[in-house]
Amino acid sequence: MILLLYSPVHALAVTTVLVLGDSLSAAYGLEQKQGWVALLERRLQQQCADCQVINASISGETTAGGRSRIDTLLDRQHPDILILELGGNDGLRGLPIAEMYNNLNYIITAAGHRRVTTLLLGMRLPPNYGPAYTQKFQNVYQRLADKHHIAWVPFLLEGLENERDMFQADGIHPVAAAQGVMLENVWPVLKDMLGK
């Protein structure tokens, strides 16, 4: 059992959070209500009845897929905050790092043009992809955060990577018990953004 401790965010204005991610945010292998995005929505609604979370995450999504959808999503949903959780599938498929960087850069820029604040969630790859590729992959997130001066979380799965029982049989997708840990990795940074 995971006890979620947090301090309230007071006097939240109407806030719409759009989550653009892959299977990690789409609650792959779980009921939607068990995923970390659903847990986030419940937490936000405790603070603000009019706050909403729109989960546009798709299992298997790549940064190219997110790039192809972002303009329509932003224009249709008019979010205040974009939580961007993409790149893992690019890395697992060994796609060029430059393409991943350019796609994420496009998404963040598109949000910025609409005055939407982005929170970037970082990912890491297993070591079997080789040190050169994995390091370049991991560096993409900090490079983009620095370039755009946006908030970021270095690793969405922080604290889970060595806990085998926190993953489903495929060894990639977290179980229900891990979703609260994922939320706690995101919440302190997001709470600070909401406070501003």
Question: Does residue 148 carry a catalytic annotation?
Answer: no
Question: Does residue 7 carry a catalytic annotation?
Answer: no
From the candidates 23, 25, 57, 90, which is the catalytic residue?
23
Q: Six-digit token pair at 97?
A: 């790092």
Q: Spell out a b/e string for 140-152, using b for 16 or more CB atoms within 10 Å of the CB, else e.
A: bbeebbeebebbb
Question: Does residue 23 carry a catalytic annotation?
Answer: yes
From the candidates 75, 165, 173, 192, which is the catalytic residue?
173
Q: Six-digit token pair at 51?
A: 């706050």
* Interacting residues of 132 by C-beta distance below 8 A, sequence separation 6+: none
End-to-end Cα spacing for the chain: 32
Q: How far apart are CA 73 and CA 117, in angstroms?
A: 14
Q: Which residues are catalytic?
A: 23, 170, 173
